[in-house]
Every structure is written in structure tokens, then in C-alpha cells.
Structure 1
């Protein structure tokens, strides 16, 4: 494998430096070598080693502004902003036209949420820098912090004008378009970009995503094809093309594209899951469940995989198998509310009512405050003879749904069953005020209560 000369020099410097540390034999490195060594450690997240290299570098080159700027970078990273600010003031007195001083000062101001002033300093840095693209990108990020997507977009565009290979800036431009819901404008911009860079697979990929959002699936398909022509190993384009083909109900072709991704790289749980979904749509159940099983084997923490298996068996009304896989999922992630909702529904279907109630209770504890969850738990609690607990459950539901008639009718029925007629009347009147037509709930769930003459008399008042 061939390396360019600069990479060879950097690797040699790092190897020589680490050899020095092991032997405790201090050797001389020029300031450029120290810079490359420190950058290497910073890029790899080895902050302690970077600080050690900065210290040694400054001991050998105490007047190096660039090494001191790297020290500032570490101080900012560690949130030691006052010390970083003082050092920058000293460096400014030495090199007032060094753009990195303005960039680091802007970084400090950004951390202090003074984004407007940070942008002003970055604009000053533009006057001195040879890398305008990087500065425009930083300005764009500051505008993003301020939720000013229009100005962020403009600066990321300027970044791309200076460096059309900066794909992170391209993604940020499209992010701004998406946030502003400017899909047509995004397509227009991407087409302009592609006129200059016709084989940019990332741009074609983004065009496809815009057309997908606009539900123009044939155009999306064409864009993904161009992305693949530009780079036949572009996994993202095959995955997105597969999604479009699913929308067009061309499931066999979708499977082909998902399979290509499995050949290009290690299997992904997403591709395996989508292949399973396609086979299920085609009615090939054995291959569907085979791929769902591969999905959870590949990524046991992917809830969509376990849910796909569970829902598959629920649709087949094979509730025992559905429960088996739901229990497996819960054993892996007992805090996933989607698993507990299915656990409750399946146990309810199997007439395991106490377990079903446990499932709904756990779902509520984990923050699932959907009306259906409260109502189902209430009905089960009543069925297993826990009427007081059902009442308490519904009162908790009222905090989230204060004007819901279904809750009020249930509370009315429960209070009448508990022979608390005053509360029963209060809740039935409140329910009737909210929605008269919904008194069918009382008739279906509390038939004996509904047929009481005192209840019928109250209902008749609201006709």
C-alpha cells in the first residue's frame, strides 16, 4: 500500500515520539512534527497524550504560536475558558492577523452561547484565512445554534463554493432546506450543484431523498440510479432505492437492492428487516420469518426486529409464539414500552388477564400515556375484580385527558357498581355533557348499570 510523503513523515514522527516516551530518552522534534503529533492525538480523542505532547513541544519551542493555539484548543475542550481566553489575548498581541486566534475566540464565545459575537469574529477570520470553506462552515454552525436556518444555509453554500468536496457542508445545506420544508428549492440547488459535479453520488442521493419526501417515487428512483452509476459501491443509494421500490410495491426488485448491500459490506439489521418485510408482503412466510430472525441475531437491541417477529405471529393468530418472542425481547430490554404494549395485548388475547394488566401498568410506568392503554388497563382491572384500582387508574388518566367522555362513562359505571351513587351520577352527567352519543360505552360495558331506572332517567334528560 502506498502512502504519500507527508503521511510517511507523520507516521515516522509519531512512531519516533512514542518510542521516546517508552525509553524516557528526550529527543528533539521540530515544531511542525509536534503539531502533527498533537493533531493525531486530538483526532483520535487521546486528550491526555495530546496535552503531554503540547507540554513537551512548548518546552522545546516556547515561542511557537501554533503549539500555544493547540493548547488553547485543549483548554476550550476542557471548558477552561478563562485560561484559554487569557492565552489568546497574549497570542493576539503577537500575531493579530492569525485567523486561528479569531476562530478559537469564536469557539469560546459559542460555548458561552454568545453566537452573534462568535459570528462577528469568524467574519474577521475570513479576512486572514487561506481556508475560507472551513470558516464558512463554522459560521453556518453558529447560525444553526441560533436556529437561523436561512443564514446557516447561505453560509454552508458559500463553504461549498470554496470547496465542492466538503460533503458535510452539503448535508448541512440539505438539512436546512428540509427544516424549512423547501423540498423544491433543495432539488433546484442540488441540480445546480450537479451541473458542476455530475458524478457526485452524495448529491444524487440527496435529490432522491427530496423526491421521496415529495412522494415522486419514479423521479427518486432515477436519482438513486444515477447515484449508483456514480459509485456502484454506494450502500446508502441501494438502501434508499429499496425503500422506493417497496413504495411502488415492486418487492422482488427491492429485495435485490437490499441483497446488494449485504454483498458490499457486513449485513445490516435494516437491510435484513426490509427483506423480511418484502417477503411477508409477497406471502413467502418462511423467508420472511427467516430474515426477521437474522435481524435480531445481527442486532438484538433493534426493537423493530423483535416487533416484526411478534406482529408476524399476531397476524397469524399464533399468540403463543408471539408471546415467546415478546418475552425474549423484554429479557433483552425491559424498559422498551413497545414490548410491554404487545405483551399486554397478547396476554389479553390468551385470557391471561393478570399478566395483561401487568403489561399495561408497565407501559404506563414507562411513559406510555395513550388513552387506549389507560382504558384497556381499567377494563381488565374491573374484570379481575379490582374495581377500586380501576377507578384510581382512570383518575390518573383524567390528568392527561380531562375532557374525555369514555373515561367519564367508565368512572360512572364503576362508581355505580361500587354503590357510590353520588359519584356515579356526577361522572355520568359529566360524560353526557362531553358527548351524549358515547353513552353506548355504558350500555356495552355496564349493561346492568345502564338498565337501572335512575341511570336511564339521567340519560333521558340529555336527549
Structure 2
């Protein structure tokens, strides 16, 4: 049994802790020691559990259950040889004890021999009527092996034995999801709900499956039933809010997210979603209030800082936008979208070196969109770094080998650097690929556009 300091069943525990303080040895029967050890293990108080095991074995040296607790500690501490040795002794004493098989399976599992662990656990099944925990352990071992069909079967057996074993239900859905069996998950959940119509967790999971299929009407109905089954189910209100957003019913979505703030501690997710809903309703003042509440609740949520950044960017308050985009980047410096936004804001503030740095970082992170290459190159031209611009556009050609916009830029740059042959080569390429982009020469390289050689090449092609 589990002890609690809030009831009258904790006398052995109180007596034991008193004994530890006074060093005055008191007698406990073996079952009391088992309950004390179980309590400490559940509380994660390993040192106290070990003390209880030692004292328990001093008083009851032949107790198999107390020695099994010692095995459990050995396994926890990765002392697998000692655990195995003790288990073999216990097996010789009591070969029909299913707990011996369970601990043996734990050792195999620790050694990543999950198939052997499964075989041992299946033997344990033959020795007990209390099968739920064993089904769950076998299911977990199959998960370790990525054998999701087999894992799913055993978690289903758990749920058949105990319809309130929600961890088994979540594991079943996890298996369906990994196997991309959304339709099968829906069929299973509907079948389960036919027998257990007030299971809020099952309704919630059913709604999530319908949401994945973009069947928002059925998803909404499922979340409604989850809330009917438990009107304090925060997760159901959150998911219902997401569905209502998809249906563009933003006022109702706000209502659902707001309920979660009353039922539990405010979450940054709900606050952010409320902000986005107000944004969709074009109520910018309330939107930004909730974005600020979001980052107050979770200062490390980069999405909150980005929402504020975009708000000030829309309002053309670029100084504030820059301040907040820097906060987002400090949290997630590997996000390409953030660096692109950082560059755009810096460009609007005429901070061209910072803007170029942002586009360079974007490229380093693997974003090779044409516009990124063009924007960075044009900034390098503006900053008076033609050689770096040439290098940028030559790399861009590897990704966009017959692109007129790149060729005209390389033509202008090479003519500017007195690399006439290269200039002619790239200009001819540009004209061959698309004549309509010749204005790039006029806009970015007006001095080059006035060169007689360039004028003649352009005329020849008209």
C-alpha cells in the first residue's frame, strides 16, 4: 500500500523515520518494510529506500520480496551483474514468482536485449492473473524495437483489462500515428467509445485524428463530447479553439482559449493564440496586449517575440521591430525566417551591413531561395564590395544556372571591375535567357549602362 502523511495509515512510516533519527532499532514485519520501501521508491528517495531494504533484510533475511527490492535498486544503479546474480538465487528459491521474471526482463532491457526481455515477460504472464502491468511492459519493449503493430496489440490488451489506463490509450494512438494509420485510429477510438461513451481522453484523441484529416466538423463534435465528459479538460478547450480558428470563428476560439486561462495556470500557447485571433479580427491593440502577456508568461518563447516584431513591422515602427526580432534570434539563432525578417527590417532602417549579415546567415542555414541571393548581392553592391558580390552571384548560379537576373548583375559587376570579357560573357547570357531584365544594368550599374560597348551589345540584341 502507498503511505500518505494525510491519513492514519502512515504509522509504520512515521515509526521508521523516527527510528532513523534516534538510531533506536524497532521491529517491523516484512510487509511493513515492503510498503515503506515502495513509498520511498515512488517518491524517488533512493537513499532512504536502500536504508529500509538493509534494515528490512537484517530483520527478515529470507524475505524474497525484500531481496527483490534490492534487485530493483541494483538495476536502477546499473549494477546488472549483482542484480543478475541475486535474481538467480531467488529463482532457485521461488521459480514461480512473476516479479523475478519482471526484474530479469528489466536487466535484459537495460542491456538493449529487448527481444529476450519480451520472452521473459511472456513467461511471467503465465504465472499471474494481474496481467495489465505485464502487457504494458511488453508493449514498451516492442516500442524499443520499433515494432509498432506488436506494441499496439499489447497496449490494446491493457485497455481491454483496464478501460481507465490512459497511458495505454496514449501509447495506442502513438503507434497508430507512427504507422500513419489515421483512419484506423479513428475506427479504433469510435469502437472504444461505443463501450466507454464518457471517456474524455478518447474523445479528445478522436478529435485530434479528425483535425489531422481536416474534418473540422467531426473534430469539433469530438471535442464537444470531451468537454461534456469533463468540463475542466483544458486540452479539449485548446484543441476546440484550434478547430474554431480553422473555421474562422475567431470570437468563439478566443472564448475557448480564455476558459483554459480560468481553469489552470495561464499557458503561453493559449495567450499567443488569443493574440493571433484578435489579429485576424483586426483588433491590433488587443492582439499586441496578448503577445506581451505571452512573453511575460514565457520569456523564452521565440514565437511570442516574433508576433510582437511583426506587429511593429506592420505599424512601420522599425526600431521596435528590430529590438524584438533580436530577442527572437537570441532564443533561436537557427531559424531562417527570423534572419530574413531581421534583414528586411534592417534594410528599412538603412542598416545595410546588418541586413547583409542577416541574408548571409540565412544562406549559411541552407535557405537558397533566389531572392536571398539577389538581396544579399545587391546589398554588397550598395556597400561597395563588388568582389564579394561577384562571389555571391557566382554561388547563386550553381543553384540557378540559367537565371537572367543573376547574369545581368554579374555582367554589371565585371564591367565595373574592368573584367570586360567576363562582362560580355554574362551580358550575352542574360540577353539570351531573358531580354526583359536589361533594366537591371540601368538601375544597379548606371555607369556601365553608359559604356559604348554595353550600349552596342544591347542594341544588337534589339
TM-score by structure 2 length? 0.85
Kept after mapping to 1: 8 A contact 2:36/2:52: yes
- The answer to whether the Cα contact below 8 Å between 2:4 and 2:10 also exists between their aligned partners in 1 is no
- Following superposition of structure 1 onto structure 2, how do residues 278-293 of structure 1 map, counting pairs within 5 Å? 278-293=277-292
2:114·2:145 contact (CA, 8 Å) conserved in 1? yes
- Alignment-derived partner of residue 69 in structure 1: 68
Q: Using the alignment, how far apart are the partners of 1:81 and 1:174 within structure 2?
A: 33
Which residue of 2 is the match for residue 232 of structure 1?
231
2:267 counterpart residue number: 268
Specify whether residues 222 and 444 from structure 1 end up closer, same or farther in structure 2 by C-alpha distance, changes over 3 A only: same
Sort the Cα spacing of 1:420 and 1:53 in 2 relative to 1 into closer, same or farther, 3 A. farther
Please provide the CA RMSD for this pair: 3.5
Q: What is the aligned partner in structure 1 of residue 176 from structure 2?
A: 177
Deviations 1:103-160 (A, max 9, x none): 2222222222222222111111111133211111111111111222111111111111
* Change in 2 beyond 3 A, CA 1:320/1:107: same
Q: Deviations over 1:351-407 (max 9, x none)?
A: 211122333445566x45454656544443343123444456678889xx7676569
The DSSP-based 3-state class of the residue aligned with 1:62 is coil
Where in structure 2 are the equivalents of 1:444-459 lying within 5 Å? 444=440
Which runs of no fewer than 5 residues in structure 1 stay unpaired? none
Q: Is the 8 A contact 2:275 2:289 kept in 1?
A: yes
Given that residues 106 and 117 in structure 2 are in contact (C-alpha distance below 8 angstroms), is that contact kept between their aligned partners in structure 1? yes
> Residue in 1 aligned with 2:101?
102
For the residues of structure 2 that align with 1:60 and 1:438, how far apart are their CA atoms?
Answer: 93
Mapped contact 1:353–1:380 kept (Cα < 8 A): yes
How do residues 371-390 of structure 1 correspond to structure 2 at under 5 angstroms? Answer: 371=369, 376-390=375-389
After TM superposition, the structure 1 stretch with the greater mean CA deviation from structure 2, 284-293 or 108-117, is 108-117
* Aligned residues of 1:409 and 1:439 also touching (Cα < 8 A): no
Larger radius of gyration: 2
Q: Give the unaligned 5+ runs of structure 2.
A: none
1:421 & 1:58 partners in 2: Cα distance? 93
In the TM superposition, what whole-angstrom CA distance separates every residue of 1:172-210 from its partner, at most 9, and x where no partner exists? 111111122222211111111112211000001111111
Question: How far apart in 2 are the matches of 1:70 and 1:373?
Answer: 62
Once the two structures are overlaid, the 10-residue window that deviates more, 337-346 or 105-114, is 337-346
Query: What is the rounded CA distance, in whole Å, between the counterparts of 1:143 and 1:78 in structure 2?
Result: 24
Deviation at 1:163, TM superposition (A): 1.2
Q: Provide Cα deviations, 1:218-266, integer angstroms capped at 9, x if missing partner.
A: 1111111111110011111111101101111111111111111111111
Match of 1:253 in 2: 252
Map 1:40-55 onto structure 2 (within 5 A). Answer: 40-55=39-54
Contact 2:149–2:175 under 8 Å retained in 1? yes
* Match in the other structure for 1:78: 77
Deviations 1:310-329 (CA, angstroms, capped at 9, x unpaired): 12222333322212322344
SS at 2:10's partner residue? helix
**1:47 Cα deviation from its structure 2 partner:** 2.7
Could you say if the C-alpha distance between residues 10 and 92 of structure 1 is closer, same or farther in structure 2, counting changes exceeding 3 Å? farther
Contact 1:450 1:456 survives alignment (8 Å): no
- The normalised TM-score by structure 1 is 0.85
Q: In 1, are the aligned partners of 2:374 and 2:406 still within 8 Å (CA)?
A: no
The structure-2 alpha-carbon separation of the partners of 1:64 and 1:283, relative to structure 1 and needing over 3 Å to count, comes to same
Q: Is the 8 A contact 2:339 2:359 kept in 1?
A: yes
Measure, in 1, the Cα distance between the counterparts of 2:374 and 2:399. 14
Query: For residues 410 and 159 of structure 2, what CA distance do their matches in structure 1 show?
Result: 65
Aligned to 1:270, what secondary structure does the other structure show? helix
352-361 or 193-202: which moved more? 352-361
- Counterpart of 1:93? 92
